[in-house]
A = this chain, B = another copy of it.
Amino acid sequence: MNADIARFVTAIDHVGIAVPDLDVAIAFYRDNFGLEVAHEEVNEEQGVREAMLHAPGDHGGTAIQLLAPLNENSTIAKFIGRSGPGLQQLAYRVSDVDVAADALRAKGLRLLYDNAKRGTSNSRVNFVHPKDAGGVLIELVEPAAGSAH
């Protein structure tokens, strides 16, 4: 009975990495791994400065999302304080975040938000509680209509 959700997961959208300083991290990934920045923005609600990076020539593929805290109350600041910088989240691309969230709730998984919030590039996002997902903070991302994805 996974047909209800299987239809909605279309790809691994991005892997999120908590970093103390966005510019330093962008330079690290550019200079050592050749990753290219496709997008940068500040999301006040999520408390982050962030950038999306891709392997050269793989611009439709899975992205690296670098997440730096905007302030000390940010989820990312708390993550770094608790665990240090490093892998923080794994995001699945879905065709409809509300339907996907409801399907997961029906299976007993807790979502962090009652209603989807604004993510990168006007996407709509929600998160599965890591305690219900084997310790992984799982994000669901519905890209904005008309976006490259």
A interface vs B, CB < 8 Å? Answer: 1-3, 5-12, 15, 17-19, 25, 28, 30-35, 55-58, 61-64, 83-90, 92-93, 104, 107, 109, 130, 133-136
Contacts of A32 in B (CB 8 A): 2, 5, 104, 107, 109
Of B18, B92, B136, which one neighbours A86 at CB under 8 angstroms? B136
Contact present for A83 and B85 (CB under 8 Å): no
Q: Which chain B residue lies CB-closest to A35? A: B9
Which of B9, B55, B90 lies in contact with A87, CB distance below 8 A?
B90
**Copies of this chain:** 2
Q: What residues on B are CB-neighbors of A33 within 8 Å?
A: 2, 5-6, 9, 92
Residue on B with the closest CB to A92? B33
Instruction: List residues of chain B with CB within 8 A of the CB of A62.
Output: 11-12, 61-62
A64 to chain B, nearest CB (A): 7
Given contacts A5-B33, A107-B31, A134-B28, contact A11 B86 (CB under 8 A): no
B85 touches A134 (CB 8 A): yes
- CB-CB under 8 A from A1, the residues of chain B are 31
**Neighbouring B residues of A12 by C-beta, 8 Å:** 15, 55, 58, 61-64
Q: In the bound complex, do residue A90 and residue B15 qualify as a contact, i.e. CB atoms below 8 Å apart?
A: yes
Contact (Cβ within 8 A) A61 B11:
yes
Within 8 Å by CB of A10, from B11, B57, B84, B93, lies: B57
